[in-house]
Amino acid sequence: MASKWVDDQYRIIRKIPGGNMSTLYLCEDQYGTPIVVKLFDKCSCGKNDDLQEKIFQREVESLEKVQHTNIVEIIDKGFDDALEKFYIVLEYVNGKNFEEAFEDLCINDYYPKLELMEQVLGAVEYLHKKDIVHRDLKPSNIMFNQDNVVKIIDFGISKFIDTFYSDYTVCNYSTPQYRSPEQAEGKTITGQSDIYSLGLIFYEIFKGEKIKDKDNLDISDLPEEIKDIISKMLNKETNLRYAKISEIKRDIVYTKSQLSQDKFLSLGLTKKASTLLFQYGYIDKDELPLAAAAIEKDLSGKHYIRTKRSDMNEISYDLMGKQYICICKIDNRNSKRFTIISIRFLNGAELMDRKENAYEVPYKVKISASGNRIVSTGEIDINKLIEEIMEYEKVKNQIKADNLHVKDIASKWSEILKLQRNKMEKEKCTIRYRSFTINEKENSIEVELEKDVLEIEFSPDNMLTMTMRNSIFKVYEVGFMRECKNSKMIIDLARNINIENVADSGEISISNKMFESALNRQTRALKNVRFKEIVNPTISDIIFNPEKATSRENELISAKDCKSSFIDKSKLLSLEMALSADDLFLLQGPPGTGKTTFISELVYQILKRNPQNQILIASQSHVAVDHSLTKIKELMSEIKMIRIGIKEKFSESVINYTLDAFCQEWTASVIAKCQEAVESYKAEIGIDESLQEKNNIILEIEQLSKSIEQLTEELSVIEEEKNKIDILNDKWKFINEKIISMKKLVHIKANCILGEELANIVDTFTEDIMALNNRLEEVLEESIHLSEQKDEFERKYEKINVDIESKEKDIECWKDFLCVSSGEEYDNLKVTIKNSLKENQIKYNQFSKIEGLCKAWITRVEQGDGLLQESVADATVVGATCLGIAGLGATVDLKFDWVIVDEAGKATPPEILVPIALGKKIVLVGDHKQLPPVIDENLIKQPQGNNYNITKKDLETSLFEYLEEHLNDKCKSILDEQYRMNPIIGELISQMFYDGKLISRTSKDKKSIPLKVFDNNSLVWLSTACRNDNKEEIIRSGQYYTYRNRCEAAVIFEYLLLINDELEELKLKKEVAIIAGYRAQRDLLTSIYESKYSARFNNITIEINTVDAFQGRETDIVFYSVVRSNEEGNLGFLKDARRLNVAFSRARELLIVVGNHQAVTRKIILDGQDNPFVGIMQYIYSNREDCLVEEVK
């Protein structure tokens, strides 16, 4: 066509196939939008010239009347004067018609074909409802676009049922191959004609072949349901054909329900992929259908896919089957599908390795060798698969990141344990001693060391060994260190220690056996937590990813619901949160806030909700465990409680709750309950005890009678054996006598017989005598054998007779008890009792069984036969140190509903994991603002320590601190009301260490001591800045060094005397703690006190120790000796605010700091952190009304 435009509006791009009595062109409108222009051909059949207009008008009317998803939309219409042709502008359908896509349509399963059929039927049904009959339905008039939406086109000879168009002019323009019988015969056309045409179209699609002869259609190989549909659509008799489209749709819905529809991926295929398969010998010819079949076969089993990103950031997808990788990209023509663009070949091991981290595709795969593929509801949109891949890879990457995170954290904890083990194996810590004395009253020994030791590596929980007497190479476990100062060590002896086994002098060291056992327990707990082999595996996830902790937030508690009367708002809130938490809850308890009160009330609330729950109370220290147990017992006096561990470490308050004591009490309780149960059951079923007793006696008599019968039988056997022996004796006598008589006979005859005859007689006699001797030997052997048994037979015979007599006497006694004197009376009584028992036989039998079981159970309990598990399980609360609870692990399967760990901030991560592994729900109570875990800092200074990625912070960071930093707010809380300290001291602690959030609920009046020496102030700094002797003194011993300050020691005792005198006037008694920053200062203070002052303080009791020894305790007055005083302003570990927090917060009424305030505040910043002493001095100066700085002259 010469013209490039239609009606000067639509630019022609190219001619496209299709059209009936028309020509189709792909065009562009003025906006560049692709459209289709249909130009109606002039009539060439010699008919009326206005036929073209009639066909045009008919199609326009049809299109303008309809608006449906599956029907092509009319955009414009008109007449081109230049071309002298009518035209219609239609929407452009970017796809293929059924004719062009016939092969693609045929390869689909029945299910997608039925879905396609539903779309076409939906459009035709819509036309029929608009009273339009298409009259020319055929494969070329039905299209589907790239989104697989069906579009019916070409309404050129359609008919409006309610009009009076003459069909004569257009009826012959329908396609004969798809024409209905009535249409071919020129009869009246209805919607049933379209149904017939559709039947022919879908016959071809279901059969996968074009119709050659309409009169010989074979549908026998189709499924029954589909066969019925096609058959009814193609019935030549209209009265037997479907009347309405809705009837067909109904049958299709039913047929689809009978067919299973698997989800599948439909993939395209490029020539490059086919060529590669051919080159590598996977197909015989380089043909797409062969390649498609080969790939489908390779992907028929399990197949995997993963995302691949190139250096240019281009994304493709590796689809892996049995033998090779199909490289896929999103189809440019259809964004909902993949196309295989290439193939990659790997060896089996490499392919398997890539599958390991790929997503297993849960859908079947179908490959299409042609460009267009039909979509059914069974086909998966590739974007859905991509989302699944992305989600899988996201989860996989998160898991990988989590695993690396877990590995990083766990490896650090594991490395710390390895370093401790290495140190234990390579550096045996020993101290030489020269003598010891025994204190029998305290069951301890005081050991005199050869020299003073500045740094003791023994902890109170380490079992100590001493050199064994008479063997310098052997050691003997003795007990636990109580204290060590001034070259003397006090050791509390363990149970069953024979002190005579200890050498008078030698070495003290830590028992490697116990230390190694502790390390093994921590290693095992760490492994179990890491690999989720614990009571609650979710806890493992939370430990390494704290943000995963969750809470139901479903608890409400009021003060009246509580057992304790010391419950404030923060405790109530914390109790609600602890009970609501699903797996883990963390409570920070600053000094004086009542952590133990919280623990005891939590135990009460737990048991109030479920009395069957079992609770473990654990802590890093024995003191904390005992304190919590005591508080719980005060709140719930009837609670069953066990304290597990080393008895020598227990406080007096829990000594009666040891495992041994509990087991004895439990045993007595079980026996009593068993006996009570038997008596109760007996009364319940109405047992006649006398009848039962008589029956038992009869059963005993019967048993004795049977025993007598058995003994009598045994007696007869013994008598037979005795008879055999007597017979053999007789045989032996006979043969012996025969031999003697024969010898005599030969002697007599020898005197009167000739020599030759005598020789014959002698020969005969010799043979006879030899035979008799042989027989005699046999008899003798048998006789000897039986004779050896004869004594035994005699003893048995006598014993059996005695037993028979005894049992006969017993029978007579029982019969006398039953008042029967003859056998007849006995038999009558048996019958009477039997008949009486028969009436209640079931209950008597049941009672006998129960009584027997109870007796067996009582016997087992009395013998302690493996009942540790049962006894521990019967306790409601179990208390133990973190490592001590593992001591039962080998013999008892420990599982607790709740594990509550106190002082959790002081335990090392591997240490605290031991109890955590045993609980369903975990509550950690502690304070990371106080003392951190105690691990020897020198570990990371060892040569092997350089090979580990361990820092000082790693050693000091507890699991509690780590969790507190990362847990969500629903699973952690803080107690913010303190009741211990004078509010002036309390406010100092709050501002310095808790960001001002700690509220003091105490009053100055009730928490003060009116001492004139300090102007009645509660916070005092006695400064030595003006003293010439105020400098620190360094004390060295090998690799260790420590500090002391004589000036501060003198000042402390000077003021203690003044305080003591004032308390005398006030008639008050007070407790004083002197807390030293360094061990050498503690020893100096102790030495001065014991040598000069121990007898001078009548109104105060004094305890001197380091900060570590005082955590968890409190006292009336605290003296804190700073010790450090130098020109450089160096503070060493005193700069650790946590240590100051512990030291200062021990004071209830009066805190006195002694030291050079100018020296310790010389540097504002220390190692990148604020100097805490600067803040302390600022607080004192800001509160001069209640605080005092006094410079000591």
Catalytic residue numbers read 136
- In angstroms, the Cα distances linking 951 to 415, 619, 948, 957 are 11, 25, 9, 10
For residue 894, give both structure tokens.
Answer: 């420990």
Burial class (CB in 10 A: 0-12, 13-18, 19+), 697: middle
Residue 923 CA to residue 912 CA, distance in Å, equals 12
CA dihedral of 478, 484, 487, 493, whole degrees rounded to 10: -20
Q: Looking at the DSSP assignment, which residues form a beta bridge with residue 1040?
A: 1037
DSSP sequence for 49-107: TTHHHHHHHHHHHHHHH---TTBPPEEEEEEETTTTEEEEEEE---EEETTTTHHHHHH
The three-class DSSP label of residue 33 is coil
Close Cβ partners of 260 (under 8 Å, ≥ 6 residues apart): none
Close Cβ partners of 222 (under 8 Å, ≥ 6 residues apart): 206, 207, 230
Give me the helix-helix angle, 382-426 and 909-916, nearest 10°.
Answer: 110
The amino acid occupying position 181 is P
Residue 537 CA to residue 922 CA, distance in Å, equals 12
Residue 1122 CA to residue 1048 CA, distance in Å, equals 8
Is the separation of the CB atoms in 1030 and 1123 below 8 Å? Answer: no
Outline where 234-372 has alpha helix (H): 245-258, 271-279, 288-298, 348-356
- How far is C-alpha 546 from the chain's CA centre? 14
- In angstroms, the Cα distances linking 631 to 595, 648, 1148 are 11, 20, 20
**Distance between first and last Cα of the chain:** 121
Strand 338-345 relative to strand 324-330: parallel, antiparallel, unpaired? antiparallel
Residue corresponding to tokens 């050199």: 467
Q: Closest Cα partner for 1155 from 1191, 1111, 1102?
A: 1191
Backbone φ, ψ for residue 304 (5° rounding): -130, 155
Is the separation of the CB atoms in 266 and 375 below 8 Å? Answer: yes
Is the separation of the CB atoms in 779 and 731 below 8 Å? Answer: yes
Strand 150-152 relative to strand 315-320: parallel, antiparallel, unpaired? unpaired
Residue 1111 CA to residue 1144 CA, distance in Å, equals 11
Is the separation of the CB atoms in 58 and 133 below 8 Å? Answer: no
- How far is C-alpha 235 from the chain's CA centre? 67
Is the separation of the CB atoms in 945 and 909 below 8 Å? Answer: no
- Tell me the CB-side half-sphere exposure of residue 874, using CA atoms within 13 A: 14
